[in-house]
Amino acid sequence: MFLSVEPDAVYKNEFRRRRFVLFLAIADEVLSARGSCRILDVGGRLEHWTAFADLWAGKPLQVTLANLEAVPVDDPRFSSVAADARALTAFADGSFDLVYSNSVIEHVGTWMDQKRMAAEVRRVAPRHFVQTPNYWFPVEPHFRLPFIHWLPEPWRLSIVQRRACGFYPRAADIDQAYGIVDDARLLTFDAMRSLFPNSEIVRERVGFLTKSLIAIHH
């Protein structure tokens, strides 16, 4: 499950399903209080939601999918908007009941970019569920290789110029290699606690190892 890049392995794996159940428990709290729930999914795609439709299809959710580019959606429960996770300027404070984000904050850039995203998540909703892979888990989830994220940068650049890795094609030159190596900045427990100081940081485990970190506030 850690090495495949096939859609079913990505969208329907058991870790994501258990994670989604945990997220929906927060949505259910909102539904109990308000009767509906406005959700902003930062960086999410409709395929992620349809993979677990059996878990939420009967719930009165309104989901806004925020990505760098808007895409057509034909389900009235969803809307798609173009937005930058680091500056959600289209949305006023408290525009949503709940923010959901799965494996996105590691992709927004530098530590300062990650801080801006975290601040925006906290601003636009009183509740959030933000997941990211753990830096200290031995298998890097984007490259689908063990230990590569712990190697010195010149070694990583050399590897991606020699072979395709996980979701990334083989780099054609050093410029593309830098783009691949810099695409994801994985976070530690302490980093997530700093980004979300008022949240519970939940460890998603594989045996005794922490696979992912989830900032939860509800």
pLDDT digits (tens, 9 = 90+) for 52-66: 999 999 999 999 999
Q: How far is CA 93 from the centre of its chain?
A: 21
With a CB cutoff of 8 Å and minimum separation 6, the contacts of 11 are 47, 48, 51
Residue 28 corresponds to which tokens in the numbers above?
């259910």
Token pair of 104 as six digits: 């996105």
Instruction: For residues 27 and 65, give the distance between their C-alpha atoms in angstroms, rounded to a whole number.
Output: 16
89, containing H or E segment = none
Average predicted confidence (pLDDT) for the chain: 94
pLDDT-based confidence at 33, cuts 50/70/90? very high
Give the pair of three-digit tokens for residue 114. 């990650």
Residue 6 is predicted with a pLDDT of: 56
List the one residue out of 119, 128, 109, 133 whose CA is nearest residue 194: 119
What is the dihedral sign for C-alpha 179, 201, 52, 17?
A: positive
- Output the pLDDT for position 12: 61
Within its chain, how far is the Cα of 98 from the centroid? 14
- Token duo for residue 198: 């008022």
From the CB of residue 53, how many other CB atoms can be counted at a distance below 10 Å? 10
- pTM value is 0.93
